[in-house]
Structure 1
């Protein structure tokens, strides 16, 4: 975030406290210190670094002591160059999402479901000021003319904000945190995402260059699984990743990432996913991956996979694997594709659908299916069906076809996870 990011009113009443505690009001001296340091730092150029903030605190002449000075630097740095009162939550490496529903309604997700966070705001104006500053740092604006905004910030934060009256409960703020850790297949198996048979199928799908989509709901682990699978690609392959907001970070020596761009404050400079797919085809990708198919870019992706670009894919939101054809048809309609065009291109371009689900705190591969043209429409035929919560695997009617493509024994019997 630049030193020229839009300033925000001081966090006069925010703090990190145990649940049930009310935040104490800062003294007038605290507010004056914050305003003085803010004015000093923001008047300079360059990034807002802890050393600049510390120098500004020292220049005020206030005798805070070592602990007090460190606390002041941390608090002011978070406000000017971070997530404000939410910054303390980011230090927990398990936190992946933060949601602000109101001054005393802050929630977080550590992978075990949503839980109340020990953070409070002084009121609705402070939440709105923080949201406006974060959005401005992403090069967009949040106001009555643009009440719903999604931006990505340096540091791996994806911020989504909604203002009243679109939100009936005040300013809503959602922060998704991109963590650098990428799981290995063994770690995902230990976490219960799949068993040995499903792992073998997934690994062979990458090795045999099957084109696939990973489907599932928000937070089901689609991006996590995709990043791990891409890390299995041969080191000599060139991976071109296309995303609306950069989240994929596979462990691979040759990765090129392209990110879409929203319009500026005047609405100019838009670069959408469809354009990025077209540009990526000129970059000689060995594998072309669209992080999330959710619009007209599906036309370019299907076209690319029908012209020799095998082994690629992406993720898509869907309730079940069987619902993927309907989603593809709907997305194709956004690109002006008729149902027959979507059906024919998809049946030729995509080999498999891997559906991930969430049961309580457990994320797991629930189904692996094969896309096929039934003549009357596009459908997903089940190859492997995993019981609720990952309790067992059953072969489906499409298993012999998938096994043949993977070079596996197509024997049909129930097997353990």
Structure 2
């Protein structure tokens, strides 16, 4: 029998490989990875640049030797799959010794995503960076350490932009953050964004909202400024973090369906339109648990969970990859921001709901216990079904994990009334008697009635 072949050696790919090998240790599993690094913590890269993660190797989760020797996975780094023939059940691989064909029994495409590089003038200048691979993280880390920049421009106010503002600030660098939209962290909603923006200004980040970047200027091939909003700002390092794009070209060129999001279309088991071919991770679509529509939210848990499920399906036990709610948290200096489900009322209406939203202010601990901090929550419910559709939160503590309670309610189609009566834990150092989530549900339920 031909081997299981996996394209991509990070979260989804290696989760699938490891799960399949546990179920069928006698079968061959070949993992092709075009780069040097496998099984790494991409989400930790800003904290490595900041200095909170001291060693580069700390970002490497499972050494290649362990994958090969302990898990008996045929891992081949520096091997790029350049074509897939779904009729012949084989892939074409470009390796150190040239091209060759590799037959497969079943195939998983886990090619991930790449940082979007806008067509800005000056993107090629030394000092202009993106951040998605470990190589890029090391390049930014070394530039901060070796070049001691005095001013940095960040383009994009999403996860990467906010986390990198904190990372650069830790090195006493003047930070300019440019966002073409009215607010940072657009998926988190206006309430969260405004609190984060206020805090960013308090800590000294120069925000340039509703400001489109035109390009970069340089001298002798080296960055010396950013051009934005009819102004020029002196900077000696720039990070472009405007999002990622799925690496779906390999699948598309093989005739495999790509969805409207630009990622590879899959069913509930991660199967693509081609027989015996699966896709997972940052290159693949998922189904949104609220809207029921295909969505593209590239996050670490989604990739790991889908990869493991596909490994089990390949092994003969069909296992759904699971729906997504877009649950996410981000650290913005001293603030925590989090979101789950559908919080945009227009999106909810498009999905057939009659959304109602409320915003409340509560506290992270009992009011009399030292250190209690405000928590602001926006929660959205459906007037017709009373179902919890989503929530967004912001505060200095107790936010990043509280969102998980709402995520659980979203996944189980819990009603707002039911959430109001969840038996959540209480102790003065951790929560008021009525947890902020319960307060939000209570207020929202009253409005839905």
Structure showing the higher strand proportion among its residues: 2
Both proteins in one fold, TM over 0.5: no
Bigger Cα Rg: 1
Structure showing the higher helix proportion among its residues: 1
Bigger relative CO (Cα 8 Å, ≥ 6 apart): 2
Report the TM-score when normalising by structure 2: 0.27
Report the TM-score when normalising by structure 1: 0.28
